[in-house]
Amino acid sequence: METIGFIGLGIMGAPMAGHLLVAGYKVVASDHRSKPPADLTAKGLKTVTGHNAVAEAADIIITMVPDTPQVADVLFGENGVASGLSKGKLVVDMSSISPIATKEFAKKINDLGCDYLDAPVSGGEVGAKAASLTIMVGGDEKPFERARPVFEKMGKNITLVGPNGVGQTTKVANQIVVALTIEAVGEALVFASKAGADPAKVRQALMGGLAASRILEVHGERMIKRTFAPGFRIELHQKDLNLALEGAKALGVSLPNTSTTQQLFNSCAANGAAKEDHSALVRALERMAGHEIA
């Protein structure tokens, strides 16, 4: 088995790395910020000092950090991954970042004699813990096949969608669909509740029809039960929709409903909810309705 370097042991990264450890992989992480989760250490996680040391110790290096600047720093900053690479290694970025920057990162890594995959994921904390993530991969066939056994320990729906950058483009498209569906579910439940209907029973009825979706199932329940601990934070979804809107401007594409939904996320963030789950978008709709889902 190849040794895996894993950088980014947060809400998503920690359970993903845990699955690799349980599967028998040797996993190495950086201790640059804080001690790794105790449960991962108990499973055999090893730590080294510096991202370059992770790259030196591993055959495949996975990054799972919040945004484009963090990926750039991890890869190319002081003591970054790039300075520890040797020919033949594989870098896999599973963060959700700019498709344009991804192409630049891939070229820099390729110039060092190494392969690069962008492999963002969908499924949130629930999917990370259940090893049921959807993984959207950009890159060449050979490194994809090399990484496939690793991906299979973390996800179920694994697709090579195109060359470097296309994985990230697919993730941006995914985040448009997710955001707009959360907004639609929120509107429906606020409307039904203010009209006097029981939102829990409305959701149950809708789950049996064409309106059924994973968002209605999971996030509709969160809205009704007021369980807004993340999950996937509003501030991260704001970042993803910014990527969508920036890309749309460059392409000359109009995304009117994406823009509106971003404004609702902005309203939530302005009211102190940036770190709540993205299902808390419903609170912006509730404020405008003067009514909280009962």
> Would you please indicate which residues are annotated as catalytic (active-site) residues?
171
Structure tokens at 18: 């845990």
- Residue 191, classified by CB atoms within 10 Å of its CB into exposed (0-12), middle (13-18) or buried (19+), is middle
The answer to whether 150 and 60 have CB atoms below 8 angstroms apart is yes
Q: How far is the C-alpha of 219 from the C-alpha of 82, rounded, in Å?
A: 39
Q: How far is the C-alpha of 115 from the C-alpha of 125, rounded, in Å?
A: 28
Across-strand partners of 277?
Answer: 233
Spell out a b/e string for 58-92, using b for 16 or more CB atoms within 10 Å of the CB, else e.
Answer: bebbbbbbbbbebbbebbbeebbbbbbbeeebbbb
The answer to whether 18 and 40 have CB atoms below 8 angstroms apart is yes
Other residues' Cβ atoms within 10 Å of the Cβ of residue 197: 14
Q: How far is the C-alpha of 289 from the C-alpha of 55, rounded, in Å?
A: 52
